[in-house]
Amino acid sequence: MFDRTRLRLTLLYILLFAFVLAVFSLVFYIGVATALGPTFDIGPELTNAQVAEIAYQATVDRLRLALIGADLVAIILVGAAAWILASRTLRPIAEAHARQRRFVADASHEMRTPLAAIRASAEGGLAGPVSAEHLQAALAMVVESADRLSQLTNDLLLLARADELPSGKPTAPIDLSVVVAEAVEAHAAASPAVPSARMTLDPDLQVTADPAEVGRIVANLLDNAFRYGGSVAMPPRVVTRAIDNDAVVEIVDSGPGIAAADLERIFDPFHRLHADAGTPQGSGLGLSIARSLARRNGCRLTVASRPGEGSTFRLSLPRFR
């Protein structure tokens, strides 16, 4: 990303310099042509040396004026262009700074809840004589809050590392359907209380990507589908298939759907569509991590949804040829 930005800014500065140089040359040429025009009178009593001196002095004076005019025009153009370029260059930096501040505030808010639960449970256990049952309940709350805090910390670290460039892209192709099947089975084994996702997998979908990171993307999408759009009667459906030159994974749920204004916002860290007491617990980073890992592996993660019609998350990977 930074290399592309550096190249784009370099090209813009080269174009700016060329434009200013062209305008400067044009203004200076007009000034020189005007200065060299014979617009002064020469008396017949003057010698050739005096005539040459007068012509030389007049030409130098007009060249000086032409150069001053060209310099002023160049300075004005450079100043205006520099102001515009500086504004365009600083805009994404300011937006990134605003996102960073919002991210830190959201992360602090998410950490405050389990920390407050840990503190309240510990203070309750230390507040005088308590029964064994009360102390056990307080310790259970401490363990549960610590686990939630640990999961949030791990997700934050994973999200930070997902934005880094990979050390080396795998060269050996993998079968996307096999990776997806393993991720679905691992999710079912880790969540025996929920029904297993329905799978429709096409064979021999060869792609070049990190299988562990693709599996994590699928696991995060499954977790999101079960939290917000899954049910015992209609569990999420997982489909792999080929579309043109891409191998595609689709996770389809039967949830309440997503409004058009929120289709991109759901990939922002800690963004929740319904932040109320009935919202399923989670770190709020699953979809952000999934999209970051997708970009890291040269994939595209998109969502199609309408309110009341469920959602379809699609991961598209270039097929290996």
Per-residue model confidence as pLDDT tens digits over 191-204: 887 788 889 999 88
What does the pLDDT read at residue 316?
95
What does the pLDDT read at residue 230?
59
Q: Where are the beta strands (DSSP E) in 99-150?
A: none
Main-chain dihedrals φ then ψ at residue 300, nearest 5 degrees: -125, 130
Question: Per-residue pLDDT tens for 155-165?
Answer: 888 887 776 65
What does the pLDDT read at residue 277?
43
Main-chain dihedrals φ then ψ at residue 307, nearest 5 degrees: -55, 130
Using CB atoms within 10 Å of the CB of residue 207, give its burial: 0 to 12 exposed, 13 to 18 middle, 19+ buried: buried
Cα 92 to Cα 1: distance, rounded to the nearest angstrom: 12
What does the pLDDT read at residue 180?
94
Strands 237-243 and 198-201: parallel
Query: 201: helix, coil or strand?
Result: strand
Can you name the residues that pair with 246 across neighbouring β-strands? Answer: 243, 318
Q: Which segments of the chain have a pLDDT < 50? A: 276-277
What does the pLDDT read at residue 84?
77
What does the pLDDT read at residue 99?
74
Using CB atoms within 10 Å of the CB of residue 77, give its burial: 0 to 12 exposed, 13 to 18 middle, 19+ buried: middle
Superfamily, domain 174-318: Histidine kinase-like ATPase, C-terminal domain (3.30.565.10)
What does the pLDDT read at residue 8?
72
What does the pLDDT read at residue 207?
92
Can you name the residues that pair with 239 across neighbouring β-strands? Answer: 200, 250
Contact by Cβ (8 Å): 210, 297:
yes
Place of tokens 């939290």: 227
Element (H, E) at 252: strand 246-253
Domain boundaries, the chain: 1-162, 174-318
What does the pLDDT read at residue 251?
93
